[in-house]
A and B are shown apart, each in its own frame.
Chain A
Amino acid sequence: MRNMNIKSIQQWFSRAGELVNEFYNAPYRSAIARAKRDEDDLFMMLVFSEMMGVPNPASYYTLELQPLMLERFHDWHQRMGMEHSPLDHFRCC
């Protein structure tokens, strides 16, 4: 019986904790997600910088990252209102 009680109290606490977290995060969820997206976009631009004529000393390494960026790249060019990839050497859809 006592065990049951402790368990239900623990459950109650973790539920309350979830709600408090929700209360803290919900109002700013979208603002923070947008800021994160902006930073990720910047990183992607760095990866593709050679193709836009910006010299990138780390291009040997960033080349490897290009395939990983495929999905993000697709999202990005659609979000920016371009139907197809704007880069000559990197086709997308």
Chain B
Amino acid sequence: MNAIFVMLLGLAAMFLGYVFYSKFVAEKIYKLDPNFKTPAHEFEDGVDFVPTNKYVLWGHHFTSVAGAAPIIGPAIAVIWGWVPAFLWVIFGTIFFAGVHDAGAIWASNRNKAKSMGNLTGDVVSKRAQTLFMIVIFLVLLMVNAVFATAISGLLVKFPSSVIPVWGAIFVALIIGQIIFRKWMGLGTVSILGVVALYLLIWAGPSAPLSLPETVGGLTDNASWVLILFGYAAIASLLPVWMLLQPRDYINGLQLFIGLILLYTAVLLLGPDMTAPAFNTNLPEDTPSMLPLLFVTIACGAISGFHGLVASGTTSKQLDKETDLRFVGYFGAIGEGSLSLATIIAACAGFATLADWEAVYSSFGQGGVAAFVEGGANIISQGVGLDNEIAETLLTVMAVLFAGTTMDTGLRLQRYIFQEWGNIYNISWMQKALPATLLAVISCVALAFGAGSDGSGGLAIWPLFGTTNQLLAGLTLMVITVMLVRLGRPMYVTLLPLIFLLIMTVFALFIQLKGFYMEENWFLFGLDIVVLVAAVWIALEATSALSNLKKEQKS
């Protein structure tokens, strides 16, 4: 089938979802009120609470939720064929992610812009709040290990990207200084920054750089993982304006440029989907599609991480309540379209089926590298860019996304450790440096504990997806309880919640068996922790809803 058709079908379906379903949800379920005084107006302080233009708000809601995860997930999941991944991304975006993201902003907006964690405590129970914190910690722990592994794999596979990737950090550092010291306007700096980045990308292939295969018993992959964590630790200790802010900004621009480039190339080239629609010739180690598909693609279909962004910063800047339909729901569609582009790149970017099968030779193979290779083929043939430059471009895009997430993730984890230091009165843990070291050590332990050469990250990808879905489940639970209290229909959020819980618990059991067979006791233990959290959420949701029913009867 032609990729143009797949692309138009997917985009049209998501657009119709926005026009009809989100209108229904906004008007009949959340009953958005343009006259409601949003927290941004009620507590306006010029710092946290600032009413913001809805397109700007959408821009950074979208760029903060879209990162490397909506690329990695679908790129792994197309191993079952492109149709299942396509359907889950499209339907997930329309009926799960959009409702969840907009709902999280709505719930927070109606409760003084509290964060999802606090809301869980207020709306459901204190116990559920504790659970929420545990799940967040697990997600952060895994996201760093996973992304470090994914980046190191890319840097080893595409040595031409090493110089541009690290060069981009210097570009960001310089931009940060220029803007902070007000030497130039933002418009000029943005153009110069993007030009500098693309010059680096253009120069990358002529100066490939790779680490020696083993240094002191460490493979090149493992060395990169260690270097990345060292870098992330330093980056997360720097003030945000110095590196994180300019890098985030450049990444945001990159995201739009990359998406436009990929979609234009697909339109111009019109490649065929060479990958099978349903893969009947699965590699032996591939787990069953049901339920693993639903946890392999988390971001791009539904992801709990969005709820954190939605309730943490977005809800504090909402100008009018009715804006949240565009910001939340259309933000989810933006991310869905990134996943759709990934599916097309990984399935239509290879000349023959044999080429594709060679890349997807076992589960967890392919992944981002397939997205880069396939996407580069499409771009180079469609727009006429040199293949190696196109590869470098896409690698840099994926790596920068993942790198920024690592930086933020490590920072957040440090805050958690510092808070624990406060709660339990451990004075050294309250300081930034030791807390960062603790965070790094726990992530490195996970990356190496799951696989001795630091390759453990990708082994835990499905587990990461599961935990992320559980976080989404908690948010959906909060929204559902709020809806029941208001006497409104709850099926719009309850059905996705039930579906998610069934799929995640099912997936956890299958993975548990897998880890047991491999005798991977580290991941086995982690799986049990997540499983306990999942069952706990199910019980918590049941008890919250049955209590409500009783209250309403009496």
Instruction: State the A residues within 8 Å of B (CB).
Output: 17, 19-24, 26-33, 35
CA distance in complex: A21, B313 (Å): 17
B244 close to chain A: CB less than 8 A: yes
List which B229-283 residues lie within 8 A (CB) of chain A.
Answer: 239-241, 244-245, 248-249, 252
Given contacts A28-B240, A32-B240, A32-B241, contact A23 B60 (CB under 8 A): yes
B387 contacts A by Cβ under 8 Å: no
In angstroms, Cα B190 to Cα A91, docked, is: 50
- In angstroms, how far is the closest chain A Cβ from the Cβ of B272? 38
B499 interface hit (Cβ, 8 Å): no
Shortest CB-to-CB span from A61 to chain B, Å, is: 28
12 pairs of residues in contact across A and B, judged by CB atoms under 8 Å: A19-B55, A20-B187, A21-B186, A22-B56, A23-B59, A24-B245, A26-B50, A28-B244, A30-B48, A30-B313, A32-B240, A35-B239
A23 touching B56 in the complex, CB below 8 Å, given contacts A17-B185, A29-B48: yes
A24 engages B313 (CB within 8 Å) = no
> CB < 8 Å: which of A26, A29, A31, A33 contacts B56?
A26
Task: Say whether, besides A17-B185, A32-B241, A26 and B47 are in contact (CB < 8 Å).
Answer: no
Q: Is B546 an interface residue (CB 8 A)?
A: no
In the assembled complex, how far is the CB of residue A80 from the closest CB belonging to chain B, in whole angstroms?
14
Contact A26 B249 (CB under 8 A): no
Within the complex, what minimum Cβ distance (angstroms) separates B106 from chain A? 20
Please, which residues of chain B bring their CB within 8 A of the CB of A20?
Answer: 186-187, 190
Inter-subunit contact A26/B60 (CB<8 Å): yes
- Interface size, chain B (Cβ < 8 Å): 26
Q: Is the CB of A19 within 8 A of B53?
A: yes
**Given A17-B186, A20-B187, A26:B317 Cβ within 8 A:** yes
Spell out B's residues near A (CB within 8 Å). 47-48, 50, 52-53, 55-57, 59-60, 64, 179, 185-187, 190, 239-241, 244-245, 248-249, 252, 313, 317
- In the bound complex, what is the Cα–Cα distance between A17 and B57 (angstroms)? 15
- The answer for the CA separation of A27 and B52 in the assembled complex, in Å, is 11
Which residues of chain B come closer than 8 Å to A23, judged between CB atoms? 56, 59-60, 249, 252
Closest A residue, CB atoms, query B249: A24
Give chain A residues whose Cβ lies under 8 Å from the Cβ of B55. 19
> Quick one: which of B56, B185, B248, B317 contacts A19, CB cutoff 8 A?
B56
A27 contacts B245, CB within 8 Å?
yes
In the complex, the chain B residue whose C-beta lies closest to that of A31 is B240
Residues of A close to B48: CB separation below 8 A: 29-30
Taken together as a complex, chains A and B put the C-alpha atoms of A25 and B55 apart, in Å, by 14
What is the CA–CA distance of A30 and B316 in the complex, to the nearest angstrom?
11
Collect the chain A residues with CB atoms within 8 Å of residue B57's CB: 26
Q: Smallest Cβ distance from B500 to chain A, in angstroms?
A: 28
Cα of A18 to Cα of B448 in the assembled complex, Å: 46
Question: In the complex, what's the smallest C-beta–C-beta distance from A32 to chain B, in angstroms?
Answer: 6
Q: Is the CB of A27 within 8 A of B313?
A: yes
* Interchain nearest-CB distance for B418 vs A (Å): 14
Tell me the smallest distance from the CB of A21 to a CB of chain B, in Å: 5
- Contact A27:B47 (CB < 8 A) given known A17-B185, A20-B187: no
Which B residues touch A22, using CB under 8 A? 52-53, 56
Q: How far, in Å, is A65 (CB) from chain B's closest CB?
A: 24
**A47 smallest CB distance to B (angstroms):** 24
Which B residues lie within 8 Å of A28 (CB)? 240-241, 244-245, 248
Report B414 CB to chain A, min CB distance, Å. 13
